[in-house]
Amino acid sequence: MQASSPSLQPLVLASGSSYRRELLSKLGLAFTPVSPNIDESALPGEDPADLALRLSCQKAQALAPAYPDHLIIGSDQVAVLGERRLGKPGNHENAVAQLQQASGKIVTFLTGLCVYDARRGISHAGLDRCRVHFRRLDRRLIERYVAIDQPYDCAGAFKSEGLGIALLERIEGDDPNALVGLPLILLTELLRRCGVAVV
């Protein structure tokens, strides 16, 4: 998607997410975005962190037959409020309900990341944890925000890279990119392990 890559192996981003494409473009590496077709359901009793890691690796490995000489990047994010996973709201009513539940609370975002070397059959994987502290939000503010930002495709029902930042007290984490969907600090480390020097 961009100019030449220092990688000897071509890169594939196993995602249909425009957010992840935009984030990966920041590294200036050429890559091909391809949406993997996998079942993203949790296994019975599966821990959210294990789910995020498993799905990130599954997404990457699912594309290996079609891209046998590539480094394939898979990522998956799970948002957790208390003991409950938050999915993508999908519509206005669900987004409002999610933000009402998150008001004054902490939502933890677990982002799994995998770089799969299809040529060698080796996975390099890791997990980023980010804790998001929400302000106390009244219904009118929530309704106004959702109407403006329309965060229907975002787990947690807000966009930290947009107006959603105004809903928060603070963010605890190592990489602000992870909250949007792709932890670039961790990604550059995993790519280095595969022989790709980003800089």
Give residue 72's Cα distance to chain centre.
Answer: 15
Nearest to 118, CA basis, from 187, 69, 59: 69
Catalytic-role residue among 47, 69, 76, 149 = 76
How far apart, in whole angstroms, are the C-alpha atoms of residue 115 and residue 80? 24
- Phi (first) and psi of residue 178, to 5 degrees: -60, -35
- CA angle 151–155–156, rounded 5-degree value: 80
Find where tokens 């699912």 sit. Answer: 62
Q: Give Cα 175 to chain centroid, integer Å.
A: 12
Distance CA 154, CA 95 (A): 9
Asked if 76 is an active-site residue, the reply is yes
Handedness of CA 10, 33, 113, 57 (dihedral sign): negative
- Compute the distance between CA of residue 153 and CA of residue 143 in angstroms, rounded to an integer: 16
Catalytic positions are 76
